[in-house]
Amino acid sequence: MASGGGAFDRKASAQRNADVAHARSAEETRKAERHEILAATASSNETKDMHLRIATVHRSTAACHETAASLQDAYAKRLAKWVHDRRAPQPLFMTGVAEACGTSSAALTLVGATLDQLALAASDEPARAAQELEFLLGEGPARDATREVRPVSASGATLTDRWPGYGPALADLGIAGVAAVPLSLEDTCVGALAVFDPEPGLVESGTFTEVAEALTRSMILSPDGDPGLYGGMSMRATVHQGAGMLSVQRGCSIGDALELIKAHAFAEGTSAHSVASRIVRGELRLG
């Protein structure tokens, strides 16, 4: 369990980031109001439409900053409460993300230039296990959301129809539905946010996309954010290190070595990180 000092530092950081986001939201709102006034007094429809379009952009940006501020505020309050009562584990930032999306379970995945999974943050163990299954099996909602750069969702029988390996495995975890939305900015996709057993209509409501946009702009890609999600992000560096060592041992490509690690982990019912760690320590040789 992390120390109280670490919790105080994270609380202070989250509160500073929340204050920055609130201020930016207020500034964007003021800009939107200015353009709405200009639209109301415009001398032509063309000028009016231009100001209204600009106002819409500022309103959208203000909403994004406000959502980010709400996530930071909620996390800071949870930490403050935990510092005074540590009987439960230290709260995770992703817990608030899940609640903002109307569910109790959510996971965020970051990907590299080739869309390979580089890091993971989860609100709870079911979400972490579900994302580990995606990594091991090479199919699932977050993977599709990043490759297709659009929201994806499935529930019930459609889970297996869409993902023959992942769907049944997800059902074994007791999860009946899933949805994912890409973390994208302009033409760049840096990952995906997935939620498990969400409330009906979440994807269509716009809330899911708003939370994903706030995470992308204010946490992952912002110089004022925290891409590590306050210590909640787990990197897959050990997995890739193990794949490199295994590729040398077997004389195969790193990609083939990574698939061997994934297959072994799935067969053992453990994580790729666990298998790779044993390879790195010299405790396991595959093949």
Per-residue pLDDT of the chain in tens (287 residues, 90 and over written 9):
445 558 888 888 889 989 999 999 999 999 999 999 999 999 999 999 999 999 999 999 999 999 999 999 999 999 988 888 887 888 899 999 999 998 989 999 998 777 777 889 999 999 999 999 998 998 999 999 999 999 999 999 999 999 999 999 999 999 999 999 999 887 788 899 999 988 878 877 888 999 999 999 888 888 777 878 888 888 777 887 888 888 888 888 878 888 888 888 888 888 888 888 888 888 888 86
pTM metric for this prediction: 0.83
Q: Which two tokens stand for residue 225?
A: 């954010």
Burial 117-147 (b: 16+ CB within 10 A, else e): bbbbbbbbebbbbbbbbbbbbeebbbbbbbe
Tokens 């946009």 belong to 213
> Do 58 and 35 meet the contact criterion of CB atoms below 8 Å apart?
yes
